[in-house]
Amino acid sequence: MDWHPAPDADPRKPQHPITASQARDNWRAWAAWLRSSRLDGLAALLLEAAGPVGFVSAQLLYMGRPLIGPGAAQLAGLLESGESTKEFLTYLSTEGEEVRQSLKEQA
């Protein structure tokens, strides 16, 4: 998903590259990828430890977006707000629990 300004956007006003709701749309894919790679625990640990450094990391990701790609802005949006980070951590743990429950039921 790439970012494009709205056609009627005022070019003199700064535009945030991605909204919080757009980032949340990607949480399911991120959580699935982290679980399939068995990195969900490590990701949760790093996000919890990031704390105030998350904002600085977000700014670095925004600056590196041309090299990293549009996913950098989405991750930066998550790191920029401590509230969003906590919400993703909650989502990651509850979604992970639901997946584990469904796997137990299938077995």
More confident residue, 12 or 39: 39
31-72 per-position pLDDT tens digit: 888 989 999 999 999 888 887 788 898 899 889 888 888 788
More confident residue, 49 or 14: 49
**Cβ-Cβ contacts under 8 Å for 100 (sequence gap 6 or more):** none
Q: How far apart are the first and last CA of the chain?
A: 36
Average pLDDT estimate for 87-103: 79
Q: Among 87, 64, 52, which Cα is nearest to 17's?
A: 64
Residue 18: C-alpha distances to residues 23, 42, 69 (Å): 7, 25, 13
pLDDT-based confidence at residue 17 (cuts at 50, 70, 90): low
Q: Does pTM surpass 0.75? A: no
| Euclidean distance between CA atoms 70 and 64, whole angstroms | 10
